[in-house]
Structure 1
Amino acid sequence: MGVVTRAQAKRGKSQPLDGEETAPRGGRGVGGADLISLLPDEILGSIISFLPTEDGARTQILSSRWRHLWRSAPLNLDASGIGGRVTVEVVSRILSEHQGVARRFSVGPSILLDDYPSLTLDGWLRSPTLDNLHELDITLSPLIVSIPRFALRFSSTLRVAKFNCCQIPNDCHHSPPDHFPNLQGLVLQNVTISEVSLHVMLSSCPALNSLTLDCSAGFSQFRINSPQLKHVKMNFCDSDIDRLPELIVENAPCLERLYHHGPQEDNMHIAIISAPKLKILGSLTDNISRLQLGTTVFKGLHDVRMDTEMRTVKVLALRLSSLRLNVTINLMRCFPCIEELYIEVTIFPWLFSLEYFLLSIIIAILF
């Protein structure tokens, strides 16, 4: 058995054993071969489609092998005009020359500040390149009040849609059933939409998985009837116009997360009639004038009793003007399987340090 010095051992770590090949670095194999470029065009095109628009276009200068790929790869076009690099002319040229299908199209108000913004957007949305669009993200400006009708032509192919700072036409409820058969995610942010149009739109999304309503208005009641919907998030501002007086979960067999945040003085009605898989619920306020859980109706949180139990709920969020131990304890009994409890006190929370201390002791005893 030979003796190996420390210097020899250190040098040996960087030397491969007999018959062992060194691992390729930087995507290049033995002899400097570019292994990434050996991948099929379909795989390389899919990789390019996940890059930002500018980065995807830059791949054309890598080599002659990559020169044609971006023009035929699934298009991920961000026309938000960030940094002033993506102009109206650039977007129009990309849409006219691109040879592949479109995966995502995003447009923001900064790029539409020309003399005729609605005509520019309509022209883009008519492009055959966007025929099979999967993701659509439109943020409009005060210059364009209503969402362009050509945005609805992608309804049969869309998977994700986000509409921001616009108005949904009231006559969209004349759309046929299953108008958005493949839509899985929908975000309505700063959107004005009538109650009828909202409910018809949702009923036309049988595959909808996630819904976000953020600072939107035009409806006084939101009724959830969806076979696949799992996540619902609602956020309303502190104004009389932007608020939700009534929320009804009528039939949501897959609903797991239901979150509502509105004005503290909203005085709303909440009814959770059928949500057998609901795990996260919040935030309930002590200004709720009517709360229905299953078939049991309570006159606000102070009236909650153990007439019914929702054992599926694991996370509960409360937003109270003052900490009331009886209200909190009754809710904990109504949701006996909660694992996480969040309480936000909106008025002078430092006055309730003793109540917090007592509540922490009670929670420790119960759990």
Structure 2
Amino acid sequence: MADGTRSRVRRRRLAAGRNRLGALPDDVLHHTLTYLSVTEAASAAALSSSWRYLWRSYPLVLEDKGIPAPARDALVPRVLADHPGRFRSVILYDCRLASLNRELPGWPRLLVDKSTQQLLLAHHDWTVIQPDSARLLPADILRCGSLQVLSLDFWTFSADLSRRADISLPQLQILTLTRIVVSDRDLECLIAACPVLESLRLTLNSPKHVRLRSKSLRCALVGLSKVEEFAVVDTPLLQRLYLFQQINGGAVRIACVPNLRVLGYLDTRTHKLQIGDSVIRPDTMASARTVVPSVEILALALNLGISEEVKILASFLRCFPNVETLHIESAPHKPPVTSSEPSGEHHARFYQEVSQVDCLRAHAKKMVIHDFRGDQNEFEFIKFIAKNAEELQFFLVIVSDEGILSSADKVKEIKDELQYVQFRTGISAVLRELPKAGIPYRLKRAADLAINDPFQC
């Protein structure tokens, strides 16, 4: 019986009053199945012949999070082997490589043959020490030409990816690599082999030198790594570069980024900023070779009580003359700073003598200070901004430190002192008490280009 005839017969029977849910159109029921775990969907298929038909005809959506651990070893391979249609999404947070290889030896090739669109492969317990050979990424994963979204966590790349025949990812748009052992060159080759890649996230990976070259990339998130050099070499469409929780900081080199609009967090202590061939130092002045005019939203992290950091802050700001929204994360560094100690001064003299910074004087319309603690150094910075920012329309101070939030007296003290700050443009500082958002939430916002300002709480 043809699919259309079978569907019409089923609807006539259901219209007689047997099952109103089943009388819905197939595409609606198909969509409903995607919200069920694989065990729930399988149970629905076992109880109803009509749902069984839908289960087998619809592209597979498999997520192992809803499968009880004891049954996972056997059920995941069986679902992959038994489903006759295409695979839309395969999400394995607990990818048990040994059981997959044993129960379904050809599972990587099956993902290719079934035109998988979204794939996530992660090891559940990545804290257990394993030899690299126990987590070698099957070569076929990088030959799945139908993939649009690929997330890999705790794998080792074994192939020489410099040979393009080893990679075929012509439709890949989103790539996430976490705790991956891969050489500097192979990572560069992998990115280059994704001609329509739009979003890239790199977290805790092995390369010490990362160079981004991509004609299609629009968003890059890089963090929690020991990268010694991160270079944006040739990314003409890149709009957003989000740096988070860098372990050792390292060099950040920005070259060809004509459309870069959002950048942060640059850390004044640990990041060595380089624009083109020019290394930015405390005495660096703005020139055609040291500016990135496209950046409109900038986020910086610094300790306002450290003289060296305040000085490099001014140099960083000179590199981005057209910034309209500036975020400052004000918090003592962790681990504590050891290379330089607070000067004990409040830097008022430095703020008075510092050369004019174009983005602060003539462009900045909105400023946000995160993790405000009420230190005198922070208030000196606010006074400097209030005196020099000619276009400022909104100034927000966010108190998110738990110690301050728990002290109503301290919060009131900050509010009272902010009232005495007089801004050149006639505005007043706004104080908000907000808990600091977690990293997963912040990264989700950063990856969403529909969100104009990913640093805004």
TM-score w.r.t. length of structure 2: 0.63
Q: Quick one: distance in 2 between partners of 1:250 and 1:91?
A: 42
Q: Quick one: distance in 1 between partners of 2:243 and 2:266?
A: 8
Of 356, 359, 364 in structure 1, the residue corresponding to residue 381 of structure 2 is: 356
- After TM superposition, list the pairs within 5 Å mapping 1:214-363 onto structure 2: 214-217=203-206, 219-236=207-224, 242-263=225-246, 265-266=248-249, 268-287=250-269, 290-293=272-275, 295=276, 297-300=278-281, 302-308=282-288, 309-322=291-304, 324-347=309-332, 350=375, 352-362=377-387
Conservation of the 8 A alpha-carbon contact between 2:139 and 2:159: no
1:125 and 2:116 aligned: no
- TM-superposed CA distance for 1:165, in Å, is 1.1
1:16-69 CA-to-partner distances (Å, cap 9, x unmatched) read: xxxxxxxxxxxxxx9979776455545533542454323433442675432311
Q: Quick one: distance in 2 between partners of 1:269 and 1:202?
A: 20
Which deviates further from its counterpart, 67-76 or 90-99?
Answer: 90-99
* Secondary structure at 1:353 match in 2: helix
1:213-244 CA-to-partner distances (Å, cap 9, x unmatched) read: 01111x221111111101100112xxxxx411
Conservation of the 8 A alpha-carbon contact between 2:239 and 2:260: yes
1:106-133 CA-to-partner distances (Å, cap 9, x unmatched) read: 2233x6286x565457443343795211
Q: Quick one: distance in 2 between partners of 1:177 and 1:285?
A: 37
CA 250–129 in structure 1, closer or farther in 2 if over 3 Å, else same: closer
* Percent of residue pairs identical: 26
Conservation of the 8 A alpha-carbon contact between 1:79 and 1:86: no
- TM-superposed CA distance for 1:208, in Å, is 0.3
Q: Quick one: distance in 2 between partners of 1:51 and 1:311?
A: 48
Conservation of the 8 A alpha-carbon contact between 1:221 and 1:246: yes
* Residue 137 (structure 1) aligns with: 120
Of 173, 176, 192 in structure 2, the residue corresponding to residue 203 of structure 1 is: 192
CA 47–303 in structure 1, closer or farther in 2 if over 3 Å, else same: farther
Conservation of the 8 A alpha-carbon contact between 1:170 and 1:194: no
* Residue 359 (structure 2) aligns with: none
Q: Over aligned residues, Cα RMSD in angstroms?
A: 3.3
1:253-284 CA-to-partner distances (Å, cap 9, x unmatched) read: 11111012354653x22221111111110111
Q: Quick one: distance in 2 between partners of 1:252 and 1:113?
A: 36
Q: Quick one: distance in 1 between partners of 2:103 and 2:304?
A: 52
CA 340–292 in structure 1, closer or farther in 2 if over 3 Å, else same: same
* Residue 407 (structure 2) aligns with: none
Q: Which runs of 5+ in 2 are unaligned?
A: 1-14, 334-372, 393-457
1:166 and 2:147 aligned: no
- TM-superposed CA distance for 1:160, in Å, is 0.6
Conservation of the 8 A alpha-carbon contact between 2:60 and 2:87: yes
* Residue 102 (structure 1) aligns with: 87
* Secondary structure at 1:67 match in 2: helix
- TM-superposed CA distance for 1:78, in Å, is 1.4
CA 59–289 in structure 1, closer or farther in 2 if over 3 Å, else same: closer
* Secondary structure at 2:256 match in 1: coil
Q: Quick one: distance in 2 between partners of 1:96 and 1:263?
A: 42
CA 65–81 in structure 1, closer or farther in 2 if over 3 Å, else same: closer
Conservation of the 8 A alpha-carbon contact between 1:289 and 1:299: no
